[in-house]
Structure 1
Amino acid sequence: MNTQNWSQESYIKAYKFAAIAHQNQKMPGSELPYIMHLSFVSMEIIAALSVEKVADGDLAIQCAVLHDTIEDTDTTFEQIKAEFGEAVAQGILALTKDNNLVKHLQMADSLRRIKQQPPEVWMVKLADRITNLQAPPHYWNQEKIAKYREEAMQIYTALKDASPFLAARLASKIEGYKAFINSEDV
Structure 2
Amino acid sequence: MTQELYQKAIRFAGAKHAKQQVPGTKTNYLAHVSNVAMEVMLAHAQQPDFDLDFAVQLALLHDTLEDTDTDMLELIELFDGPVAFGVSALTKDENLPKEKRMQDSLDRIKTFPREVALVKLADRITNLQQPPEFWTEEKVEAYKKEASLILVELAGSCDYLEDRLIRKIEVYRR
TM-score by length of 1: 0.91
Measure how far apart 1:54 and its partner are.
2.7
Partner of 2:97: 102
Find out whether 1:81 has 2:94 as its counterpart: no
* Number of residues of Structure 1 aligned to a counterpart in Structure 2: 174
d(CA) in 2 for partners of 1:147 and 1:129? 13
1:44-83 → structure 2 map (5 Å cutoff): 44-83=39-78
Residue 92 (str. 1) matches residue 87 (str. 2): yes
Shift of the alpha carbon at 1:70?
Answer: 0.3
Runs of 4+ in 1 over 4 A off after TM superposition: none
Find the counterpart in structure 2 of residue 3 from structure 1.
none
1:39 aligns with 2:39: no
- The residue that corresponds to 1:157 in the other structure is 152
- Which letter maps to 1:87? P
Question: CA–CA distance in 1 between the matches of 2:155 and 2:28?
Answer: 29
- Provide the C-alpha distance between the structure 2 equivalents of 1:59 and 1:116, rounded to a whole number of angstroms: 16
Q: Return the match for 1:119 from 114, 118, 121.
A: 114
Report the residue type matching 1:133 in the other structure. L
Decide whether the 8 Å contact of 1:54 with 1:120 is kept in 2: no
Quote the offset at 1:55 in angstroms. 3.4
What is the CA–CA distance in structure 2 between the aligned matches of 1:74 and 1:7, rounded to whole Å?
26
> How far apart are the structure 2 equivalents of 1:54 and 1:96?
25
Give deviations 1:106-160, integer Å, cap 9, x for gaps. 1110100000110001000000000000110000001111000000000001113
CA RMSD in angstroms, aligned pairs only: 0.9
- Structure 2 unmatched ranges of 5 or more: none
1-structure distance, mates of 2:140, 2:66: 22
Q: 1:20 aligns with which of 15, 18, 31?
A: 15
TM-score (norm 2): 0.98
Residues 37-95 of structure 1, C-alpha deviations (whole Å, 9 max, x = no match): 00110000000011112332111000000000000000001100111101100100000
User: Is the contact between residue 44 and residue 50 of structure 2 (CA under 8 Å) also seen in structure 1?
Assistant: no
Separation in 2, partners of 1:43, 1:159? 19
Say which SS state the counterpart of residue 161 (structure 1) adopts: coil
Q: What code does the residue aligned with 2:83 have?
A: V
1:133 maps to 2:128:
yes
Q: CA deviation at 1:30?
A: 1.1
Structure 1: give runs of 5+ residues left out of the alignment: 1-5, 181-186
Identity of aligned residues (%): 47
Q: Which has the larger radius of gyration?
A: 1
In structure 2, C-alpha distance between the alignment counterparts of 1:121 and 1:34, rounded to whole Å: 20
